Structure 1
Amino acid sequence: MDLDAFTSVHSAAWDRLAVLTRRRRLDGAEADELVRLYQEVATHLSTVRSAAPDPVLVTRLSDLLTRARSRISGAHEPAWADVVRYAAVTVPAALYRVRWWTLGVVLACLVVGVVVGWRVATVPEALAAMGTPAAREQYVNEAFASYYDPQASFAAMVWTNNAWISALLVAFGVTGVAPVYILWQNAVSIGATGGMMAAYGELDTFLQLIAPHGQLELTAVFVAGAAGLKTFWAMVDPGPRKRSAALAQEGRALVTCAVGLAGALALSGLVEGFVTGSDLPWWLKIVIGSVALALFWAYVLVLGRRGVEAGETGDLDVDRAGAVQPTAG
């Protein structure tokens, strides 16, 4: 094939396609012409590649077609409206859908923590398992309170630690075993620490230092565990959905929950880093922690309920997640 002759014959169409691609607004006739020329030039590119694959001409036509295709289909650019909708609708809806699972996890962990704390505080053998008398006294009288150092680096460390625990609950939620184990360990650890503080008459110190940030921090951990368990249950009992579809849908919603919890943990980290160890009155610290918790639940229950009622699940939309074959039931 004579490339010079081929270029001479079709260059007018190529130039016209380039003009239409750059034009800001197109009327109906021009839009139809753009589509027609795109198809025509695509045929030209195919011909060149098969008959005389000149790299310069192939690159020119490929670039032209790429720009024309973007003009026809419309390049998707993230908009603030999408970000706002995700934060105000999608995330709270995903958290709202696990609210009853969260309540179950909270009650279970509360029972475990109280039982363990009572045992450590009242049974000498359980208290002895917490360490030597000297180590226990040093922890109760110094280490526990000195841990809460009000500064930015401490807040960042707290957020990283809590985010890591939540990430484990999310990542291994599908196993069903990992969330139970991690939640159990967390409840036992907090309960045992509180029991040891109570045994030395420092239960009030324990509660004053835990309550400001712990209300939101522990709630976020419980929600992460609940979301992980809900994903596991979707595999056990998918309902009318196919098991693979149910697991995929709940797994994507689980990631959405994780995004929301990252924000909640950031807020609790700020409270722990700058409020818990500060010189503020203890009652004011607890009030600040309670307000942070109330804001989280208002976000979940108010915005989340609206989102769910509007059909939001926390999953991706069909365009991004892909269509799911309907199932009976």
Structure 2
Amino acid sequence: MPRIDLDAYVAAHAGSWVRLEELLRMRRRTGAEADELVDRYQQVATHLSVVRTSAPDGELVAHLSSLLGRARIAMLAVRVPSWRGVGHFFTEQFPAALYRLRWWWLGCVAGNVLVTGLMMWWLSAHPRVEQSLLSPAEIDQLVNNDFASYYSENAAGAFATHVWINNAWVSALCIALGILGLPILWLLFQNIANLAIIGSIMMRHDRGDLFWGLILPHGLLELTCVFVAGGVGLRLFWSWVEPGELTRAASIARAGRTAVTVALGLAVCLLISGIIEAFVTPSPLPTWARIGIGVVAELVFLAYVFVVGRAAASRGATGDISAALLEDRVATQA
């Protein structure tokens, strides 16, 4: 881009900078003023990019960068409590992120289900392994008391909170450790190994109906969420292994922002599975009804991804945070 006359450029655009300053000084803004703040932010971001490229002036660059930094904070403060923003997150950003990353987490689901099935089959054929893990008294206690009582020994509300926090933590770890790759596989393996060991013990002692009747109502959605987190974490790992056309830093940053979107959305999904685990799993409903509720919850999640998410992705949603809150990297034109 050819150099510009800096004085003329400042004279032409200083009014936008002054107006942005005025908007930032306001303690309260109307809806129109909030929209104007976003528009002015985008204008000034373009101006800064032009100045950096065509007429670098340290003092002016510092002033505009500071102005934009304050504007980003102001826009975030406005958007956080906005119900419209929450609605946009759950109808556009989150489902689009799930849909765009679907092959990563669907692969994670398939791989974990396959490994769990193989482990349960192998453990069932090798009862001595069971004996090396638990004593006969511990197995008897698990089969005849502990497994069923786990879901009903605490108050439902407290239990729902407990399982929600625990599962959200596991999912967050899967995403947070994504950059390292291998720790995710170990975390997922620990999760399914526990399921496979307990399942094989229960089925070998003719309590398979109890096991599946208590696992499936909440486990379908819960484990899907954990595997989604694992798949997204692996995608984060791959973002620096194979950054594509982006630099590694830019690739990791983009994948990381999308991972945060997924983590926030999964917290809500896991809250739903926690409520099912606390109120439906131990309820006196017939087994078919409890499992049916779990199946419906899983189908709703999949419909959310492949109907709502697909539509959001087709409209251009990516799961990344709003462009208005990114750094000053907009298209430049004098």
Which of 88, 94, 101 is matched with 1:91 structurally?
Answer: 94
Offset, 1:76: 6.8
Which of 127, 134, 148 is matched with 1:145 structurally?
Answer: 148
SS in 1 for 2:133: coil
Offset, 1:123: 0.7
| Structure 1 CA distance for aligned equivalents of residues 191 and 253 of structure 2 | 28
| 1:226 paired residue number | 231
| Structure 2 CA distance for aligned equivalents of residues 138 and 83 of structure 1 | 46
Offset, 1:251: 0.2
Which amino acid in structure 2 is aligned with residue 114 of structure 1? Answer: G
| 1:31 paired residue number | none
* Moved >4 Å (runs of 4+): 73-76, 323-326
Deviations 1:12-63 (A, max 9, x none): xxxxx9xxx89x99xxxxxxxxxxxxxxxxxxxxxxxxxxxxxxxxxxxxxx
| Structure 2 CA distance for aligned equivalents of residues 232 and 187 of structure 1 | 21
Which of 167, 192, 212 is matched with 2:217 structurally?
Answer: 212
Deviations 1:153-202 (A, max 9, x none): 11111111111111111111111011111111111111111111111111
Offset, 1:306: 1.4
| 1:307 paired residue number | 312
Offset, 1:83: 2.0
Percent identical pairs in the alignment equals 42
Contiguous gaps of at least 5 residues in structure 2: 1-21, 31-66
| 1:174 paired residue number | 179
2:248 aligned with 1:243:
yes
Q: Contact 2:261–2:321 at 8 Å: present in 1 too? A: no
Deviations 1:49-81 (A, max 9, x none): xxxxxxxxxxxxxxxxx9xx99xx999733332
The within-5 A match list for 1:58-73 is none
CA 1:284 to 1:74, structure 2 compared with 1: closer, same or farther past 3 Å?
A: closer
Offset, 1:130: 2.6
Q: Contact 1:120–1:199 at 8 Å: present in 2 too? A: no
| 1:252 paired residue number | 257
Offset, 1:214: 0.3
Offset, 1:211: 0.5
| 2:85 paired residue number | 82
Deviations 1:258-308 (A, max 9, x none): 011001100000000000001010000011111111111111111111111
Q: Contact 1:166–1:225 at 8 Å: present in 2 too? A: yes
Q: Contact 1:175–1:232 at 8 Å: present in 2 too? A: yes
| Structure 2 CA distance for aligned equivalents of residues 217 and 181 of structure 1 | 18
CA 1:253 to 1:143, structure 2 compared with 1: closer, same or farther past 3 Å?
A: same
Which amino acid in structure 2 is aligned with residue 94 of structure 1? Answer: A
Q: Contact 1:215–1:289 at 8 Å: present in 2 too? A: yes
SS in 2 for 1:276: coil
Offset, 1:129: 2.3
CA 1:139 to 1:311, structure 2 compared with 1: closer, same or farther past 3 Å?
A: same
> What is the CA RMSD across the aligned residues, in angstroms?
2.5
Q: Between the two structures, name the one with larger relative contact order (CA 8 Å, sep ≥ 6).
A: 2
| Structure 1 CA distance for aligned equivalents of residues 183 and 307 of structure 2 | 31
| Structure 1 CA distance for aligned equivalents of residues 313 and 133 of structure 2 | 46
Offset, 1:242: 1.2
247-256 vs 200-209, greater mean Cα deviation: 200-209
SS in 2 for 1:129: helix
| TM-score between both structures, scaled by the size of structure 1 | 0.75
CA 1:74 to 1:136, structure 2 compared with 1: closer, same or farther past 3 Å?
A: closer
SS in 1 for 2:243: coil
Which amino acid in structure 1 is aligned with residue 291 of structure 2? Answer: I
249-258 vs 120-129, greater mean Cα deviation: 120-129
SS in 2 for 1:239: coil
2:282 aligned with 1:281:
no
Q: Contact 1:245–1:324 at 8 Å: present in 2 too? A: no
Q: Contact 2:76–2:325 at 8 Å: present in 1 too? A: no
When the two structures are aligned, how many residues end up with a matched partner?
A: 262
- Point out the structure with max Rg over C-alpha: 1
| TM-score between both structures, scaled by the size of structure 2 | 0.73
| Structure 2 CA distance for aligned equivalents of residues 89 and 168 of structure 1 | 25
Q: Contact 1:112–1:191 at 8 Å: present in 2 too? A: no
| Structure 2 CA distance for aligned equivalents of residues 112 and 101 of structure 1 | 17
| 2:169 paired residue number | 164
